[in-house]
A and B are shown apart, each in its own frame.
Chain A
């Protein structure tokens, strides 16, 4: 082969390489021109927490993320969500958060149903200097005295749940039970994870404030196959009112064993998580679901639309339609879906655009500064409350100081807000009507 021919071949090869490099660069160029925020979304899609409410939160977040993807992103940034399953296990939640951050290179993580997962994951994400937006878990232990810089929670805290439910009964003690608070026998029972312990702590402080006679305070494992010893203790303690914090299926197990063992009480206040999923409660308890209470942020379908920002009601309708499409068998729309959708919406409308426009990007510091700037008055979110986060160097840095839960009662396949009075849709049915399964009369 002549030198000239060899030279020509080499030239052709070089030209081929050049074309290939240019093609790769060309393909890469549009990506560079269209910035993107990658969000890792973590909920429990398997394991007992999935049916206890986590899957519904996943749905609420997904509805909202899909909406923003469909509208073309936020402030020129495309949105890519990577969904992960925590499998109802804290260790898996931590591993998934780290995997999303280190391998999938997400810019932030969002979601988290269980407080037992939130507490360690928040610490790890903070270490990795990434932004974490908690849509769901409520334990105070996630944020209290930890001075986390990059972790924000628009939700109310567990202690607020516990205090509100106690206040509700205290304010109704005389009128509904015919007793002074000091004569009212109350029992506090809770799953023994971060969530249950925190709500029970709020219960205890609320009970002290109200002057209730606390006859029993007891924790249990949410995966226990038998709660008969707890029920026997409750029977011996004879409480008028039981304050219960649990996930489900432990809630179903508790109520079934309570019924079989003849436990009687005048009211039971459920405090979030499993008590917010009406369909599963009804499936497990049948007619005994009637007159149960649930403490949670208000269901977005129950908020007073008159006091909301006018742009929010159409969004509430949209979330409801998508919810029904995804779960056509739904009778009472769970507050969980709305909660997650609303908290995600706040991120996409208040934090992300501000971070991009005012702080120049989507890194953790820009998102943190943007979150600290959020200042929404009451009525500014679908959940009715406003948003203002506690700043750094405060005991609850990252906590939304304007969030509050409400108390809902299930009556004849409907849910009604019954407390606080400012939000109430109807008078609470208290105590349990005579002749119902758990009623002492």
Chain B
């Protein structure tokens, strides 16, 4: 394999790991509660602004902004659950869609009001020079985001499958009434799912802010990728989001290199449609 192609694949894997990270929160909420969070992209946006505020206030880099954004977003996630989602879950599916869509608009226009429309960028000197491995160059923000993306996504999967908390959360998602009879409080588990999902989204947003612009509408751009990743990987499946994120990242990068950046979306979405056509539940979703 030529070193140039290897460089392209490595870049694709890194951006793919970031896709997986910011999609895992979306898939987690769906898997736990059958709710599609249309405000997901705007959660990413808030985390990006949190990183920006941490930098402007204290000159803090990702070491400070990632944990702060995780806590801030986890709090916002819990508040969203108790103040909105818990209520709209009792309504029809349309109420859930409109409810989270309304939350998205509320967050977006609050950001407009407070931060203005102009986009912001963090200095690209926060993380130092690129890493060079032989003929492969990897810029530090993407390497950090990709690595943490992999770690956090795998951790989410382990929390769900290997811990008591995960078992209780899955029990609630399977049958909330039966779980309640076993002494599990569904509302607490659902709030924990929102905290976990939004916290992971917070980590993703703070990392993305190190190499991508921040604006009140940036969530719209990122949300499309998140929805495609989640549908591709299978709604509700964290490993599916990871696999789909990595696949989309590599397919995008290789097709942009081999055919042209203009056509990469055509390739990605053609494959996406083909996968859904043959496997509507996504790569790792349950039928």
Chain A residues lying within 8 Å of B117, measured Cβ to Cβ, are 45-47, 50-51, 55
Q: Are A51 and B215 in touch, CB under 8 angstroms? A: yes
**Distance of A236 Cα from B208 Cα, bound (Å):** 27
Tell me if B88 counts as interface (CB < 8 A to partner A): no
**Distance of A45 Cα from B118 Cα, bound (Å):** 9
Chain A residues lying within 8 Å of B256, measured Cβ to Cβ, are 220, 229-230
Q: Which of A213-238 contact B (CB under 8 A)?
A: 218-221, 223-230, 232-233, 235-236
Interface centre among B112, B208, B213, B254 (most CB of A within 10 A): B213
Chain A residues lying within 8 Å of B130, measured Cβ to Cβ, are 260-262
Tell me if A420 counts as interface (CB < 8 A to partner B): no
A-B pairs under 8 A by CB, number: 106
Residue of B nearest to A189 (CB): B261
Chain A residues lying within 8 Å of B252, measured Cβ to Cβ, are 226, 229
Tell me if B197 counts as interface (CB < 8 A to partner A): no
With A51-B215, A256-B124 as given contacts, are A236 and B262 in contact (CB-CB < 8 Å)?
A: no
Chain B residues lying within 8 Å of A260, measured Cβ to Cβ, are 124, 130, 137, 139-140
Contact check: which of B139, B208, B257, B264 meets A233 at CB < 8 Å? B257
Q: Which of B260-281 contact A (CB under 8 A)?
A: 260-262, 264-265
Q: Are B217 and A48 in touch, CB under 8 angstroms? A: yes
Interface residues on B, range: 35 or more
Q: Are B261 and A261 in touch, CB under 8 angstroms? A: no
**Distance of A408 Cα from B164 Cα, bound (Å):** 64
Tell me if B121 counts as interface (CB < 8 A to partner A): yes
**Distance of A45 Cα from B116 Cα, bound (Å):** 9
Q: Are B121 and A192 in touch, CB under 8 angstroms? A: no
**Distance of A19 Cα from B257 Cα, bound (Å):** 77
**Distance of A248 Cα from B112 Cα, bound (Å):** 18
User: How near does chain B come to A255, taking the closest CB pair, in angstroms?
Assistant: 9
Tell me if A175 counts as interface (CB < 8 A to partner B): no
Tell me if B59 counts as interface (CB < 8 A to partner A): no
Tell me if A257 counts as interface (CB < 8 A to partner B): yes
Interface centre among A218, A226, A230 (most CB of B within 10 A): A226
**Distance of A76 Cα from B119 Cα, bound (Å):** 41
User: How near does chain B come to A214, taking the closest CB pair, in angstroms?
Assistant: 15
Q: Are B265 and A221 in touch, CB under 8 angstroms? A: yes
Tell me if B101 counts as interface (CB < 8 A to partner A): no
Q: Return the CB mask of A117-141 against B: 1 if under 8 Å, else 0.
A: 0000000000000000000000000
Chain A residues lying within 8 Å of B4, measured Cβ to Cβ, are 232, 235-236
Q: Are B118 and A51 in touch, CB under 8 angstroms? A: yes
Tell me if B80 counts as interface (CB < 8 A to partner A): no
25 contacts between A and B (CB under 8 A): A46-B117, A47-B117, A47-B217, A48-B213, A55-B118, A87-B217, A192-B261, A218-B262, A219-B260, A224-B261, A226-B252, A228-B11, A229-B11, A229-B252, A229-B256, A230-B256, A232-B8, A249-B121, A252-B121, A260-B139, A261-B139, A262-B137, A280-B119, A283-B121, A284-B121
Ranked nearest first, the 5 interchain pairs of A and B with the lowest CB-CB distance are A260-B139, A229-B256, A249-B213, A220-B261, A51-B118
